[in-house]
Amino acid sequence: MRIALAQIHATGDPEENLRTVEAYSRRAVERGARLVVFPEATSQAFGTGRLDTHAQDYDGPFAAGVNALARELGAVIVAGMFRPADRVDNGANVIQRVWNTALIADGGTPRGYDKIHTYDAFDTKESETVRPGNTPVLVSVDTVTVGLATCFDLRFPSLFQNLARRGAEVIVVPASWADGPGKLHQWRTLTAARALDTGAFVAASGMARPGGEDNAGQASGPTGIGHSTLVNPWGERLAEAGYGEELLVVDVETEQVARARRTLPIL
């Protein structure tokens, strides 16, 4: 299967971001991709204002537009978006929380995976504005079983092993990984570790880093570090992007999954 990782700079405007999804998806499909993976927060980038301001459900224009595009192109598109979830009273005010969703668009009924592990770390508390999900999700792309995870989920191997035990051969990870001291090393280590934990391919699509390489290594909050990557079941990096916008298109031989799991039967 040919997978495309679309490393983009999302903005605070869902309409503009939808146009970016269209442009990258068309380029990816022209190069033969069957699955196109965009970063977390593709519908609205972190750091561009309150997430509930532009939150839309599956019947909103962003998800509907991506789904119509997937139908036209005959491909499966995964892209991060925010959907209205619930209202919580934190004692000072009432906050409208959202779901941090990895949209699955294949031309049928739009659906998705709601991020289970919210980014409550490094002086950030995502759960104040994002409601955690609780259900692992798999989808079939042609004959390949694909699992979904999002960004901070990478630090929780149990989710990945759950997906692998349920048949995932490829696990896609939309992300908007925070930059800062040691964060690129952690990203590379964790993407490889989750492949080794599962005997699966890990296809992690990160948001391009604001400011590019000039700001590399500086703390940025969850606005992206780039370095989208495709890792094989042995933890080997088949492709990796840099800090800026980029489209990676990579072939994966899913037969390697069965071989890896026979050789190293850890599941």
Q: Is 151 a catalytic residue?
A: yes
Question: Catalytic one among 151, 169, 183, 246?
Answer: 151
2-263: what fold?
Nitrilase/N-carbamoyl-D-aminoacid amidohydrolase (3.60.110)
Q: How far apart are CA 219 and CA 225, in angstroms?
A: 10
Question: Catalytic one among 40, 126, 169, 246?
Answer: 40
Q: How far apart are CA 113 and CA 98, in angstroms?
A: 13
Question: Catalytic one among 15, 22, 30, 115?
Answer: 115
Q: How far apart are CA 147 and CA 127, in angstroms?
A: 23
The position carrying tokens 């619930």 is: 86
Rounded (to 5) percent helix, strand, coil in the chain = 30, 30, 40
In a 3-state reduction of DSSP, which class is residue 89? strand
Burial 146-169 (b: 16+ CB within 10 A, else e): bbbbbbbbbeebebbbbbbeeebb
Structure-block tokens of residue 130: 């994002």
Walk along the chain (267 residues) and give the pLDDT tens digit of each residue.
999 999 999 999 999 999 999 999 999 999 999 999 999 999 999 999 999 999 999 999 999 999 999 999 999 999 999 999 998 877 777 889 999 999 999 999 999 999 999 999 888 889 999 999 999 999 999 999 999 999 999 999 999 999 999 999 999 999 999 999 999 999 999 999 999 999 999 999 999 999 999 999 999 889 999 999 999 999 999 999 999 999 999 999 999 999 999 999 999
Give me the residue spans of the domains in the chain.
2-263
Q: How far apart are CA 232 and CA 254, in angstroms?
A: 9
In a 3-state reduction of DSSP, which class is residue 63? helix
| Phi, psi dihedral angles at 167 (to 5 degrees) | 110, 0
